[in-house]
Amino acid sequence: MKIIRTITEMQQQMQTLKAEGNSIGFVPTMGFLHEGHISLMKKARQDNEIVVLSIFVNPLQFGPAEDLDAYPRDFDRDHRIAEMEGVDYIFYPTAEEMYPKNASLKVSVIERTNVLCGKSRPGHFDGVATVLIKLFNIVQPARAYFGLKDAQQVAVIEGLVADFNFPIELISLEIVREEDGLAKSSRNVYLNKQERKQAPELFKSLLLAKAALESGERSSARLIEIIKKHINDNTAGVVDYIEIYSYPELQSLEKVTGRMIIALAVKFSKARLIDNIILDVEKL
């Protein structure tokens, strides 16, 4: 496995590999890898001759009130995990390498951003789109792999790939969970013992909503009530949002129908956890 830190070397290496007929699978991350990332690497390894992992904590994704410096980092551990999963290349640039000067252009995401996490993080998905445009052009993958834990991000990336005509197949994988149902996340380390015991109730609340759907409930408002009550009764977390939309369009639904997402965010003392389920109502 090779670690590459510069854009020029990465582009040259990828161009050579593609010219030799290799398909490139790309897993973009901000590091501090967990089982969710591992599932993406495993799938990329199955699908492609070459697997590239990027590790870059993108400053453009962080708002003024968000602590970029506090984001967890452990490159040595990430390196070991990537090696065990058969990754061929780690692209590990600095912020100065990725953003060497003031940009002359700005990426602005218009659709699918004014709901869920995007509503409380203005500019966040502009930062996501900017770094992915750069990474896609640097790595030039045939396939890129993302987890549905951040389903809004996946929806935005689908729009990005379509609008800018990237010749990339997006592969999205289901949320990887702990045995008790808690979605795997780098931010779970910020939970104290009591919060860690309570955190699985988020997924349980989503399953209660799914059960209500299976019993014939079609009111978004009623489903949201079911989820909110369970979280408030069983955790000390503060609900940031519980929302229901069509997926991937992220249009509001008073009465649920078709493919939809039920998503939530809950704030604990030092961690804000997100979770979701994506369902096709017609198939329940």
Verify cis geometry, omega within 30 degrees of 0, for the bond prior to 248.
yes
Is residue 84 annotated as involved in ligand binding?
no
Catalytic one of 37, 79, 124, 230: 37
258 is in an annotated binding site: no
* Residue 33 among known ligand-binding residues: yes
Please report which helix (H) or strand (E) contains residue 266, including its range.
Answer: strand 259-267
Q: Is 184 annotated as a binding residue?
A: yes
- φ/ψ region of 173 (left if φ > 0, alpha if ψ in -120 to 50, else beta) reads beta
> What's the token pair of residue 144?
């890129």
Using CA atoms of 184, 187, 192, 195 in order, give the dihedral in degrees to the nearest 10: -60
Q: Catalogue the long-range contacts made by 173-180 (C-beta closer than 8 Å, 24 or more residues apart).
A: 173/39, 173/40, 173/43, 173/145, 173/146, 173/147, 173/148, 174/147, 174/148, 175/36, 175/147, 175/148, 175/149, 175/275, 175/276, 176/34, 176/35, 176/36, 176/38, 176/39, 176/147, 176/149, 177/203
- Does residue 63 have a known ligand-binding role? no
The residue behind tokens 């955790």 is: 235
Does 140 appear as a known binding residue?
Answer: no
30 annotated as ligand-binding: yes
Query: Is there a binding annotation on residue 104?
Result: no
- Known catalytic residue at 124: no
Handedness of CA 53, 56, 62, 66 (dihedral sign): positive
- CA neighbor of 55 nearest in space, from 70, 84, 72, 75: 75
186 is in an annotated binding site: yes
Tokens matching residue 194: 């009591």
193 is in an annotated binding site: no
**Binding residue per annotation — 187?**
yes
Residue 11 marked as a ligand binder = no
Residue 202 known to bind ligand:
no
Residue 61 assigned as binding residue: yes
Does 34 show up as a binding residue in the annotation?
Answer: yes
Provide the annotated active-site residues.
Answer: 37
Annotated binding site for ATP: 30-37, 147-150, 176, 184-187
Annotated binding site for (R)-pantoate: 61, 153
Annotated binding site: 30-37, 61, 147-150, 153, 176, 184-187
